[in-house]
Chains A and B, each alone.
Chain A
Amino acid sequence: MFKIVKKEFLSENVARLVIEAPYIAKSRKAGNFIILRIDKNGERIPLTIADADMEQGTITVIVQRVGVSSHKLCAMNAGEMLLDVVGPLGTATHIAKIGTVLCAGGGVGVAPLFPIVQAMKLAGNRVITVIAARTKDLVILEDEMRAYSDELIIMTDDGSLGTKGLVTQGMEEVIQREKVNEAVVIGPAVMMKFAALTTKKYNIPTVASLNTIMVDGTGMCGACRVSVGGKTEFVCVSGPEFDAHKVNFDEMLNRLKAYKTKEAEGYRDYLKSLEATPALV
């Protein structure tokens, strides 16, 4: 059992949870993720380790409410227990002194981007961060990002905070202004697809962190597979980060829909069950 020691909402549908997991806190690196299971009927869901505190023996995850499991997780509170947490999974981000690194995050992808921004900065790079959200209230980790970025650009669809426009516009502005040695893009698959197309135009090496559907996270099931440069790769063991210019994003977008109908039905039934027992809401 893994205790939740702190929980808060960062925006309406995004919660930050601090979880006791001393081994993982010690061994995790930027780019790693965990898989957790809430209770015995729960599914295994992957979440990036957004931060960790070795002394306290805790890790932080940031989760966006999108369906049954994330909904249940967002409803949990400090003091409650998660049945299973395993990690750190995946290969760590390659952190080195590269020069200028452009880090771009969309939606809840900003959470997994944070440990990379932090590590890139600590490695001595000039870090320019672009974070994007639909509207002001959905912008997360603004202060944390600012603390580790040489420059922080915020893009919102409606212009309610920062500049009005898409993440790719923010990226392009930087690229046209100065030499960028590497880009890291994390967010919804569509966002990564277009961010990758943007940097490709300028031949900037780009890394994307893929969030494919997973079960075990140890290379055992192949649910997480994607085509990278025409070759099938298992994201949980060979990734989650890959050369963004080689990833077949269209295939990945399709694979993310594999269980769409069942997930939607499950979420609808779950929300109905909550209405039936209002005390749980």
Chain B
Amino acid sequence: KERTNVVRVHMPEADPNVRNKSNIEVNKGLTLEMAVSESSRCLDCVVPTCVSGCPVGTNIPKFVKYIESGDILGAAKVLKENNSLPAICGRVCPQEIQCEAQCVYVKKLSKEGSAIGYLERFAADYERESGNSSIPELASPNGIKMAVIGSGPAGLTVAGELAKFGYDVTVFEALHDLGGVLKYGIPEFRLPKDIVDFEINTIKQMGVKFITNFIVGKTASINDLKNEGFKAFFVASGAGLPNFMNIPGENFNGIQSANEFLTRVNLMNGADANFDTPVHTGKNVVIVGGGNTAMDSVRTAKRMGAERAMIVYRRSQEEMPARAEEVKHAIEEGIEFINLASPIEYFANVNGMVTKMRVQKMQLGEPDASGRRRPQPIEGSEYDIDVDSVIIAVGVSPNPIIQQSMPDLEVTKWNTIKVDENMMTSIPGLFAGGDIVRGGATVILAMGDGRKAAQGMHKYINETILAEV
């Protein structure tokens, strides 16, 4: 009973008016006292419903109870049993709709759920800062070569899991840096790059090899890699292809995709004068969209000096796909929300640089297939907004390179790759997971796929290659 009376911990945050001018991390992390107090709320349920909300099946009560007892390194070890990237998930998982939404506090007691994400982050950070990071136990090397295509969360997870089974794993990455969206997309103030590198380093220490600047399907084909001795493949090429709206004026200068903007800033350090990559931003910046990508872009634009950093979103705040916490942080940082509006045309000056966007007001009609109410244009409601920079964040499509290089590979009508219950594609020995299978989804779903695929690949090797000898 006493446990249920403890108040849920509040995450300490950097001052909105300081952080919106710098890249410091917004969430500062719990103190040991906070973490222990929060962990005491957990009831160590006989049937821990929270676990069913976690795509990688983290043993939540077990790690939380380690924190309560003060054995934080023990907690971190539990996390790593199922999750090779806990410091990342603790920061970016949509916990409020996953594990925490299934917590008995929410389901039965009508209280705020156990702060599982904060505790996960705390344990992972504590371990990293202690300098006593553990490396998961590895089976003895079996010498069988496995290839992973893409170094985002799905690829990293498969690589770590296969290494645990004893495989000789190589990850091929198209870009010059590792981490996929974790590096080029999600900004420093939400996910510090050092932390991503630290977690990748742990996987390196497990014996996984990484080759950057290598595009499978271009630099070498899957068949070439087979000839080099790779026995099974995992495609985790992500959903990196940005969508545009195909409205007049969209190709004027000053209008870019969120991926271009975030890549120039995050991957290329374009906002730093010591780096050669230029990046365009402005005083009046509009981001079109309402997802995490839109929030990351608008908050980045604000940090780069925008006077008005605006979201233009065609539904209302309630329907926004972005995490509630990101929207809250954005509002605190002075982001303007222009909801129920959608751009219909852009205008430029004589130099072809965007100066104005025309938007049309929307109203919500009947629910669509996603269950959200469908926005409908209001005739005659058009008005103009002065802009000098526009960032389009209206979703992404699957990366097409692997599909183009393998005409036999079965894909859906959205060009995502089809997989079976073991995450195997229509081509034996070729597995896939993450955004390339789901379309733009989440880090933890990509990791869940990775775990499942690693099991599937292990099974495949046992049934084919090892069965033959």
Chain A residues near B220: list those with CB within 8 A.
Answer: 23, 26-27
Name B277's contact: one of A44, A83, A218, A254 (CB within 8 Å).
A44
B103-130: CB near A (< 8 Å → 1, else 0) gives 0000000000000000000000000000
Known: A87-B219, A257-B253. A220 touches B241 (CB 8 A): yes
Let me know if A226 is at the binding interface, CB within 8 A: yes
Let me know if A102 is at the binding interface, CB within 8 A: no
Chain A residues near B276: list those with CB within 8 A.
Answer: 41-43, 68-69, 266
Chain B residues near A24: list those with CB within 8 A.
Answer: 219
A28-52: CB near B (< 8 Å → 1, else 0) gives 0000000001000111100000000
- Is A86 a contact of B259 with CB atoms below 8 Å? no
Q: What DSSP secondary structure best describes chain B's contact surface? A: loop
How many B residues touch A, CB cutoff 8 Å? 42
Known: A86-B219, A220-B242. A225 touches B251 (CB 8 A): yes
Chain B residues near A41: list those with CB within 8 A.
Answer: 269, 274-276
In the assembled complex, the Cα of A254 lies from the Cα of B98 at a distance in Å of 46
Chain B residues near A219: list those with CB within 8 A.
Answer: 240-241, 399-401
A199-221: CB near B (< 8 Å → 1, else 0) gives 00000000000000001101111
Residues from 158 to 192 in B contacting A, C-beta threshold 8 Å:
174-176, 184
Let me know if B352 is at the binding interface, CB within 8 A: yes
Known: A221-B263, A259-B280. A83 touches B218 (CB 8 A): no
A8-28: CB near B (< 8 Å → 1, else 0) gives 000000000000000110110
Query: What is the CB-to-nearest-CB distance from B247 to chain A, in angstroms, rounded to a whole number?
Result: 11
- Is A215 a contact of B274 with CB atoms below 8 Å? no
- Is B268 a contact of A222 with CB atoms below 8 Å? no
Let me know if A237 is at the binding interface, CB within 8 A: yes
Q: Which among B213, B224, B240, B274 has the highest number of chain A CB atoms within 10 Å?
A: B213
Chain B residues near A222: list those with CB within 8 A.
Answer: 242, 244, 256-257, 259-260
Chain A residues near B264: list those with CB within 8 A.
Answer: 215
Q: What DSSP secondary structure best describes chain A's contact surface? A: mixed
In the assembled complex, the Cα of A69 lies from the Cα of B278 at a distance in Å of 12
Let me know if A160 is at the binding interface, CB within 8 A: no
Let me know if A85 is at the binding interface, CB within 8 A: yes
Let me know if B215 is at the binding interface, CB within 8 A: yes
Name A220's contact: one of B221, B224, B246, B263 (CB within 8 Å).
B263
Residues from 213 to 249 in A contacting B, C-beta threshold 8 Å:
215-216, 218-223, 225-227, 232, 234, 237
Query: What is the CB-to-nearest-CB distance from B350 to chain A, in angstroms, rounded to a whole number?
Result: 10
Let me know if A89 is at the binding interface, CB within 8 A: yes
Known: A86-B213, A219-B241. A254 touches B259 (CB 8 A): no
Which of chain A's residues has its CB closest to B220's CB? A23
Tally A-B pairs: CB < 8 A.
Answer: 118
- Is A215 a contact of B268 with CB atoms below 8 Å? yes
Query: What is the CB-to-nearest-CB distance from B165 to chain A, in angstroms, rounded to a whole number?
Result: 28
- Is B399 a contact of A218 with CB atoms below 8 Å? yes
Chain B residues near A83: list those with CB within 8 A.
Answer: 176
Residues from 236 to 273 in B contacting A, C-beta threshold 8 Å:
240-242, 244, 246, 250-254, 256-257, 259-260, 263-264, 268-269
Chain A residues near B218: list those with CB within 8 A.
Answer: 27, 87-89
Let me know if A177 is at the binding interface, CB within 8 A: no
Let me know if B134 is at the binding interface, CB within 8 A: no
In the assembled complex, the Cα of A216 lies from the Cα of B218 at a distance in Å of 14
In the assembled complex, the Cα of A221 lies from the Cα of B176 at a distance in Å of 15
- Is B268 a contact of A86 with CB atoms below 8 Å? no
In the assembled complex, the Cα of A215 lies from the Cα of B280 at a distance in Å of 13
Query: What is the CB-to-nearest-CB distance from A274 to chain B, in angstroms, rounded to a whole number?
Result: 14
Let me know if A84 is at the binding interface, CB within 8 A: yes
Known: A87-B219, A88-B218, A216-B263. A43 touches B246 (CB 8 A): no
Let me know if B337 is at the binding interface, CB within 8 A: no
Query: What is the CB-to-nearest-CB distance from A276 to chain B, in angstroms, rounded to a whole number?
Result: 16
- Is A226 a contact of B251 with CB atoms below 8 Å? yes
Chain A residues near B400: list those with CB within 8 A.
Answer: 219, 237
- Is A43 a contact of B277 with CB atoms below 8 Å? yes
In the assembled complex, the Cα of A180 lies from the Cα of B176 at a distance in Å of 43
- Supply 20 A–B pairs (Cβ within 8 Å), ascending by A: A24-B219, A27-B220, A27-B221, A27-B224, A42-B276, A43-B276, A44-B268, A83-B176, A84-B176, A84-B212, A86-B215, A89-B215, A89-B218, A215-B264, A218-B399, A220-B184, A221-B259, A221-B263, A237-B400, A255-B253
The 6 lowest CB-CB distance pairs between A and B, nearest first, are A254-B352, A221-B260, A220-B240, A262-B278, A43-B277, A86-B213
Q: Residues on A close to B: CB < 8 A?
A: 23-24, 26-27, 37, 41-44, 68-69, 83-89, 215-216, 218-223, 225-227, 232, 234, 237, 251, 254-255, 257-259, 262-263, 266
Q: A84-B212, A87-B219, A257-B352 are in contact. List 13 more A-B contacts (CB 8 A).
A: A27-B221, A27-B224, A68-B276, A83-B176, A86-B214, A88-B219, A215-B263, A218-B399, A220-B184, A220-B259, A221-B260, A257-B351, A262-B278
